[in-house]
Every structure is written in structure tokens, then in C-alpha cells.
Structure 1
Amino acid sequence: MSEDIAPTAVDEAGDALATSTSEASLHRSEERSRAIEEQIAKDASGFRMLTGDRPTGHLHIGHYFGSLMNRVRLQDAGVDTYVLIADYQVIADRDGTGPIAERVTSLLTDYLSIGIDPGKTTIFTHSAIPALNQLMLPFLSLVSDSELYRNPTVKAEHEATGGRPMSGLLLTYPVHQAADILFCKANLVPVGKDQLPHLEQTRVIARRFDERYGRVDPAAPVFPQAEALLSSGSLILGLDGTKMSKSKGNTIELRMTADETAKLLKRAVTDSDRHITYDPVGRPEVSNLLTIAGLASGRDPRAIAEEIGDGGGGGLKKYLTEVLNEMLAPIRARRLELEKDPGYLDDVLAAGNARANQVADATLAEVRAAMGMSY
């Protein structure tokens, strides 16, 4: 992230947010991400990472290849990792919670089955951390409504609702995310390029808090400047060739059986050309299946395409089914074990919530001290 943006007024911050995805800013973010990766490889002890998911459905291979694998990698490299199950955010654009308890448990089970270690990673839920949510109040005083309306993520989320009136929770989503990141003083957040403006809002809030309220420790601000770790993962489309989405039913969920996976892949969209080639622009559906096969097998999609050759879509789907089910087999086996022990799952979440509450309470106490509100 660029360090040369230090707005002291609402309009200046708005300009910063509006230009944060410029080509120059993106280039700096990419360079900084590479430097962070190099530092992690040498010594990861100085990093604390916040990431997570909304429990609106079951996790699928898009989540796995796009972010979950990377979380495990960073956790195992020694990054202090916090994973949020954002249950309060479920109601940002919905009229109810749905089967929230079942989905929270499903997320937790998936996390553990893919290798997230509760001994190394703090897994917690929004609703169980009162002090985290209380940070929303002072943070909301540091942003304007125009900034929130301009936020690209808010715009995108609102468009996805089909034009229904925006809830206050959806409008203040960037501030809630800032509270998620700053309550534990995370200094590292894995994001895609489109999420950089969202993270910049968190950085703006951290700077404004320091400027307005000062510091408890004169040597350091209350909150760090969280940095982006840009995702390098490939974009994976759904089995119908459109954006992969839980709501579209075009995904392979991690919890599915091998037979369920095979049946879904048989219906995956390809094209009429029997000769298989890797051409993401000209043949996006076929290339998408090759990309997934490459990720699952650790091979170059082009080499897979050459190997299948005139085998057609049927040959490609057969190969993909084999390598994907082979890759997912140990994850599925671990998941079945975890499902048989719901008490263990409850204990993991309770321990994570307890740890997150300790951290949140300490941060809130520091915030109140900086604001002169310790009484």
C-alpha cells in the first residue's frame, strides 16, 4: 500500500479512496506484496493476518483455490492468523439469518478439514465479540456518508441486491470491516485487486483515529496501517461458465461426495470443438476446466490440454473428475471425522471466541483511554 496518502479531511480521504485502484497505486501494492512475501519467508513473526467469510452457504473449490489454500500456507509459515466467521454480515443484505447455525458449523468444519489449525489460528464469530462491534461507534464518527456511498464494495454489494433499499449495516460495511481488522491490530489482509479501496478505508480510519484522539503510547499509534497481500490465484469460473457463486449452484462444494462431484462435472459447460486447447480468451469454458484440473493436479493446464488432445469435453471432464476427487479425498475424510464429533467443533469455536474477546477487550480499553473515556 502507498504510504504517501495522509488525508486530514473528508474530501482528501474521498479522493484517496477514488484513486486507490489507479495503475500506479496497484503497481505499488503489487511491489509491496512481493516484499511482504519475501519477509514472511525469512521471518513471519511480525505479521498478524485477518481474513474470513460470511456464512451464507457452503465453501466450494473457488474458495479453496482462491483463498483457503493461501490461509493455510501463511498460517504454517508462522503468520499469526485470525479467521472471522462474519455472521453479523449475513443480515447486511438479507431479511433473516437463514440456517445460520448450520452454516457456521459447516464453515468451521471446512476450515479444520483443509488444514487450518486452531492451535495456530484464532477462529471466531462476529456476534460473540462485543468489544469488536463496539469499535463501530468511534469509527463511524471518523467517516462521512459520502465516503461510504462511494466505496466500490458497497456499490457492488448494493447492486447485487437488485436495487432494494440499502440497509444501514450494508452502507457501513467498510467500517465494520475496519473494526474486524483493527480490533486485533492485524497488519496484513489478503485481498483481491478489487478490494484495495476497501482496505484503504481501514487505513484511513486508523490514521484519523490517531490524528483526532492521539496515542496511549507516544511512541506508536493505537492502530497499525494494515497492508494488502494481493492474491495471485487464478480466477475460476463456475461450471456454467459464469462467475462461481454459491447462489447460482454452479460450484463444487468441499463437503460434496466424489459421486456428487462427478455428476456435476458431467454437466459442466464446454464447447463443440473436440480438440482440447488452453485458450482463456477464445475458449473460456474449456480453459476454466483445464485451470481447475491444473490447480488440482499441480500441472500446467497447457500440458493437460495437449495430453487430452482429441479426447473432447468428455475426456477433459473425466480427467478433471479424477484429479479433483483425488485432491479432495483427504479433505473429505477429515470432514467426515469432524462431523462425528460436534463437541470438538463447539470447543474449537468457544476457544477462538474466548481468545478474540481477550484481544478485543484490550483494544477497546486502549481506544477508550486514547479518547479520554476511561471512567
Structure 2
Amino acid sequence: MKHEAHPLGWNRRHLLALAAATAAAGPLGARAQAAPTGFATRPVRVVVPFAAGGATDVIARILGERMAQRFGQSVVVDNKPGAAGLIAGEMVAKAPPDGMTALLGTTSSMLTNKYLYKKTPYDPLTELTPLVRVCLAPIALVVTADTPAQNLQDFMAWIRSQKGKLTYGSYGIGSHGQLACTTLSEVAGADMTHVAYKGEAPMVQDLLGGQIKIGMGSLLSLKAHVDAGKLRALAVTGPRRVPLLPEVPTFTEAGYPQDALSIVGWLAIAGPKAMPADVARQWAQAANHAVASREGLARIIAAGFVPVDDDTPEKFARLWAQEAPVWGRLLQAAGVQPS
């Protein structure tokens, strides 16, 4: 059955999942379990480069439960935080390519680290096998409620009129937030100053305290403050609006299609180099099945991400190869030097 189209790019199934995200938790309806796919002869390990309890970890555990139905084996989430994701990535890169170990990481931990560090223990572009994206990770531009900017056009005029006087915050050097705001500053000729925070929490705290007026971060961190009227969301990155903030346009919609504003990060699964093609396809099928489940869709949307439930290793590999040099150019243009 064809799903009903929605003007924001979301079909009926995704919108129903958003409603389900706010419903009381309860047992899922009975569903048939697929037969084991064959390669999994013991518990499968998903390595997550972040501590337990974060959004990536929560999604890994939700999807792991559903993927276990397809594998016929339990899926163990193994948290290996530290070194900007390099510890977890190296563990997977050096694992046997038998499909028993995979990495659930982000664009930064699986791609842009290549450009942020002079020396890394592995090259994600050559030593990992792209398997499947599970969701996109848009970020939002916000301003404090006392600024004159009601929309992105107002914002550009405002920062232009305040040339050299404004600062903006992001969750770290080389972050997507820095790259996007650098682009906006250059387009407007605003000469804004970047304040790099060690994570989103201190950035949001300074936004709420009035130390900075402009910031970019995840929808999960910002939405409650936008809903409370303390922050105003002006635009989101990526190709389409997101259901968590459906009234907020994309940068492209608002007339700013530059790469740093239209590109979007992701959460994805990768395996070691030389993983057999049939095993890679089974991982993708299991992940797509998990994302498309009622709870998978609901939790991903509630966390501020955009579900991807139709990816393949081939599609993801092409996108990975296409996006890598774009991120590299953006980091170079922003003056980010490898450390």
C-alpha cells in the first residue's frame, strides 16, 4: 500500500510514529520474527562511541532489540566512549570482517575525524565498510528571545548590521554548528566570533543566561527551550523539515542552499573492511526493519532525528564517498586546523 504523502516530506507512517512517541509505553503488538539470516552464530556486538544513556546509545539499544529478531541472536551494545570516537572506531576497524561486530556512530566519529586529526589509528574511508544509515541528524539555528530576528532573513540583516560585535556558540571546534554559522557570517559579511563549547549543555546554558545570543545544536537539546519561548528556532539543516519542529524551514527553503547549510549529519552502522557483501546486506535489512518498527520510528523522531529505513550498503557507500570531500572543504574553509 502506498503511504499518503505529506507536504513536509513525511509519509503517513512517519507521522503516526511521531504520535506514538508521546503515547504511554506498552507492549508492541505481536509480529512475526524473521528466520535467522545465517551469519550470526553468537551474540552480535554493536560498538557505540559514546557513554550509556545518550541519544545514540538509546537508539542503539532500541534498534538492537529489533535487529536481534532478524539475526536470531541477541545484539549487545558495547559503549566505548573517548578520543572523539576513535577508540570505538579502531575496535571495529580491527575486528574480523565476519559480521559479528559493527559500529553505530555519527558523521563526526565515522567521517570528519579524518580531517580533524593529523594522525588517527585508522582511516574510516578505507578501513570501514559502510552498511546502512539509520537516521539523519539535522541541527537548528537558534537565537535568544530578545533578539530582533523573527526569521532567517531578519537574522541575516541583523548580523550584518552588527558586524564584528556578535558571537555564536557551537558544541565544539569543527562541529557542524561552527561550519554552518561560519557560512552565514561570511554570506552576511558579519565577522561573527565563534565560541566553541565542550558539548551542547554548556552552550545552551550560556544561551539561556544571555552570555551569547546565537547558537546551533541538536533539536533534542534545544526544543524544550524553543517550546518555552526562551529560544527562537530560525532554520534547520538538511533536505527537508523535521517533525519535531515542523514549522521551522530548512535553510534551503529560506533561500540559503550553501553546502554547510544543506548538508546533514547522520547516525549510521559500519563494519570492518572487507565484510562480505551478503553479510553487509543482511545488516542493512535488519537495520531497516528495526528503524521501520513502531518503536524505532517513534524513538528516533522523538530524539530529533529523521529516520532512514530504506538504505543499502551501496547507497550509503556512494553517499559516504560523495560527502567526505564536502566536509573536508567546509572544515578547511572555516579555518579548522587538524590537531
Higher gyration radius (CA): 1
Q: TM-score, normalising length from structure 2? A: 0.29
Q: Relative contact order: is structure 1 or structure 2 higher (C-alpha 8 Å, sep ≥ 6)?
A: 2
Greater strand share, structure number:
2
Greater helix share, structure number:
1
